[in-house]
Structure formats: structure tokens, C-alpha cells
Amino acid sequence: MTIRDWAEPYKIKMVELIKMTSREDRLNAIREAGYNTFLLRSEDVYIDLLTDSGTGAMSDRQWAGLMMGDEAYAGSRNFYDLRDTVEEYYSYKYTVPCHQGRGAENILSQCLIKEGDFVPGNMYFTTTRLHQELAGGTFIDVIIDEAHDAESEHPFKGDVDISKLDALVDEVGADKIPYVCIATCVNMAGGQPISLANLKLVRQWCDQHDILLVHDMTRVAENAHFIQQREEGYRDTSVKDIVYEICALTDAATMSAKKDAMVNIGGFLAMNDAKFYEQACALVVVYEGLHTYGGMAGRDMQALAIGITESVQDDHIHARVGQVQYLGRRLRESGIPIVNPIGGHAVFLNATKMLPHIEQDHFPAQALAAALYVESGVRSMERGIVSAGRNKETGENYKPNLELVRLTIPRRVYTQAHMDVVVGAVQEVMERRDEVKGLRFTYEPEVLRFFQARFEQID
Ligand code: PM9
């Protein structure tokens, strides 16, 4: 792919100034933050690749949409626009707005999971698994083995291993499985897509066992792009049509609209079943807000409806994923070990390989993220043993095969020159990697510990 191949289909109308800091400033900042990049102040960050969540740049049309906010408590016209857009682009008949993805996960889990249930999924996601557990369920990983191997070049590492689903039914029975949860562009696997061929098999399996199929559609457009590029028979199908086809294979969805749909806040739960909708409406009023705004202002629902239409444009998604691929390829060419294939929203550094002198119990990915910040002001996120947390029954640390640092690219925000700076920064850390030290907890929160944990260096 040449550089012009993925050139941005937009021009910049407004900019936000960012601050350069000295190495000494950054050393102080990371110590104060307990070596946790979540605890840094954003004004101390130069290039912020912590997350692609809520950090995208809205278009002029989305900003115009904000001015069309109908802030009526009930029946806002923006809700109807959002509901109709969700049905037109994503196929789901009913929409329950929520403040963000985890709000939708809470309502979904409370509606469908009973104590002692099992929820299979194509790799865990932090907030998703926690809501399943809080509702009394246990998450079961049914993703193909290749997804746990950073080196595997499998083009669809998000695929489900149907034999793992069969084994679960044999063990616990179909009546203990309320639904199968399928994420598109699986975040924790490195932003890896599921193929339509595999999704169709999962659909058949669910029909055979009379089990619902729920879709974490947070990055569905990026997944659709990979299907268009890699799956036989889809080369001439638009991303918009592929997105629709994916969604139409599933019964319900949770959406963190802060990613694909490029709003700073928002999400929804969507479904086709009227009874499930009624149940979700009864709960949304308890946890989020009235069923016609959930956790969102009218103006935000309007910006979201517009963001959905922009997110599935071929030009947009080609440039978005193209920028991520550019960064990944440049890192790979300079000998940095990353997760292959390069994902849709982020490049994942393989901390196990970059810092072989730090054992997993001393949090190599956490240490690497801190070192990268000190070196360059680039903020990234740990996606390894800290994020994985502890088993709720045994209290033992989960020890994921993937010990990664995520360089997550916000949508429509940074330039190619910024990507080049990031490559240089990672190279510098690589050159001085022997100086990076392992960490231990000084504070470990009970749940979702990666957000607020604090560490100290082990000398
Ligand atoms: N993902 C991310 O940075 C933001 C917070 S967790 C570090 O990747 C999926 C696949 C997500 C996701 C959030 C959520 C939750 C659900 N599913 O953050 O609550 O990637 O809107 O969505 C984050 P909310």
C-alpha cells in the first residue's frame, strides 16, 4: 500500500495545541501517576495513544448536529433519528440509548444472565466480562487458538472455534448458556476480525441450540473493512453492506459509540425482540435515563446518528485502517515485535519479546508503557496481565499469553508525521530496553484494576 493509497478523505478545520515536555517533567509525572498511564494528566502527554474511545475528531456535520439537539425529557426527535439510523445501517429494530458501552453491557447482562450461567465469547473484554460476572455468569473463551499467539498470521483471528462451543454445551447444557457474545474486531486479540463465513457457522450453531447471538459491535466497520480486503467474495461489496450483513446475522448488540461512530460519549443496546426491548426499557430507566435518551443528551444522539453514517463510508475506513497499518508496518520494518496481522484500531507491541528480562508477574507491558511515555511523551495502554485481572473464584492472576502494549490511534486526529514520531520513540525504548525495570503493585483495586492501580519499580 502506498502512502497516497490511504490519504485522508477530509481536511483540517480546527486544531488543538499540544504541549512538549522534557524528560525530567515526564519522569516526575509517571512517578506521580504510580507508573500507570491512566493516571497521567492529559496535558502532560504529547501524542495520546491511550485509547480510540471518545477521542476521535467529529466532523463539521456532527458538530452541526449538536446544534439540532432536542433536549426534551421524553420523545426527543434525536432519539427517533438515532433509532432509524441504527435500523437502517445496523438492522436492529429496537434501540435503547446508554451513556456508553458498559451501560449497555450492564442492561444486557442483567436482562439475560442468571446466577450460574455461562457466556461464551471470542476473547474477553474487561468491562464486558465484569458485567457478566456481576450478573452471576462465567465467561468462557471460545476464540480460535491462533488468537492467543502474537505471531500467528491467521487473517481472521477473531473467529470462533465451534468445537469449543460444542464442548461447553456438552459440559453444562444449552439451558445454562443465555447467549453467545461475538465481538467484531476483537480488541484484546489485537483488533483482529471475525470472518463472515465463521459468523454464519456461529449463527447456525446458535439456531441449533436455541441460544441467542449477541454482537459487541464497537468496531464493526473496521471488521467489515478486513472482510472486504481478505474474505473471498466481498472485494466488490461496500463496507456499509458488509456491516449490515454482519449485524443482520445477530439478535442483539451492545455498542460503545465512542469508537467506530466517532462521538465523544454515547452508546446503545439494540435488539430485534420486542419482549427483550421491554425488559431493557424497564432497566434503562433505573441505571441510565428514560428509554428515549438513556444516558445521552439529545445533541449527542444526533451527533451519533450522523457519525454512524460517516463510519461506514469506504473512503473513511480505508484511511482510518490505512493509518494504523502504516504505523504497524513501519514498526515491523524497524525490527519491533508486534502482534500480527496488524489490527484495525491499534498496533500492539509484544512486551514479552521486547522486555524478555522482566517476568510476567512483574508486569512487563505496564513497565513498557511507562518507559515509552518517559522516553517520548507518547501515551499507550497496558493490555496484559494487569488488564486480565484475577479469577473471581480462585483469586489467582489470569496469565494471558498476550502481554501487550497498545498504541491506539484515535480517528481523524493525528498525522503521518505523528506516526513517524511514535516509530522513533519505540525504537529508542527498544535500544535502551535493558534499563527498563519490572514493577509491583502499591495499590491494587478489586475490579478493573488497570484503570487505577499504582506501582513502584523493582530495583
Ligand atoms: N474500550 C478501549 O480503550 C475503553 C475503555 S477500556 C480500557 O478499548 C469493547 C470491545 C470495547 C469497550 C471499550 C467496551 C466498553 C466494550 N467493548 O468504554 O464503556 O473496546 O464505552 O465501552 C475501551 P465503553
pLDDT band per the 50, 70, 90 thresholds, residue 1: low
State the Cα–Cα distance between residues 367 and 386, nearest whole angstrom: 11
State the Cα–Cα distance between residues 176 and 163, nearest whole angstrom: 17
Residue spans per domain, the chain: 3-52+314-457, 61-311
pLDDT value, residue 3 = 59
- Annotation marks residue 259 as catalytic: yes
Q: What is the CATH number that goes with domain 3-52+314-457?
A: 3.90.1150.10
- In the chain, % of residues over pLDDT 70: 99
Cell of 299: 445533541
- Residue of 256, 258, 382 best suited for mutating to test ligand 1, as the one with most atoms within 8 Å of CB: 256
Q: What is the pLDDT of residues 142-166, one digit of tens each?
A: 999 999 999 999 999 999 999 999 9
pLDDT (mean) for 234-240: 98
pLDDT value, residue 392 = 85
pLDDT (mean) for 11-40: 96
Closest-lying ligand 1 atom to the alpha carbon of residue 103: 19
The Å distance, Cα 376 to ligand 1 centre, comes to: 25
Cα dist from 318 to 5, 8, 313, 457, whole Å: 9, 9, 9, 41
Residue 183 in contact with ligand 1 by CB distance below 6 A: yes
Give the DSSP per-residue string, 285-325. Answer: HHHT--TTTTT--HHHHHHHHHHHHHHT-HHHHHHHHHHHH
Residue 85 in contact with ligand 1 by CB distance below 6 A: no
pLDDT value, residue 98 = 98
- In the chain, % of residues over pLDDT 90: 98
Q: What is the pLDDT of residues 94-133, one digit of tens each?
A: 999 999 999 999 999 999 999 999 999 999 999 999 999 9
- Annotation marks residue 184 as catalytic: no
Q: What is the pLDDT of residues 176-226, one digit of tens each?
A: 999 999 999 999 999 999 999 999 999 999 999 999 999 999 999 999 999
Residue 380 in contact with ligand 1 by CB distance below 6 A: no
The correct CATH number of 61-311 out of 3.30.420.140, 2.30.110.10, 2.60.200.20, 3.40.640.10 is: 3.40.640.10
Q: Is the pLDDT of residue 47 over 80?
A: yes
Residue 266 in contact with ligand 1 by CB distance below 6 A: no
Q: Is the pLDDT of residue 30 over 80?
A: yes
The per-residue b/e assignment along 42-76, b for 16 or more CB within 10 angstroms, e otherwise, is eebbbbbbbbbbbbbbbbeebeebbeebbeeeeeb
Q: What is the pLDDT of residues 10-22, one digit of tens each?
A: 999 999 999 889 9
Query: Can you give the C-alpha Rg of the chain in angstroms?
Result: 21
Q: Which helix (H) or strand (E) holds 275?
A: helix 274-287
Q: What is the pLDDT of residues 256-282, one digit of tens each?
A: 999 999 999 999 999 999 999 999 999
Closest-lying ligand 1 atom to the alpha carbon of residue 50: 3
Residues 72, 78, 81, 83: is their CA dihedral positive or negative? negative
The per-residue b/e assignment along 389-418, b for 16 or more CB within 10 angstroms, e otherwise, is beeeeeeeeeebebbbbbbbbbbbbbeeeb
Q: What is the pLDDT of residues 341-360, one digit of tens each?
A: 999 999 999 999 999 999 99
**DSSP code for 103:** H
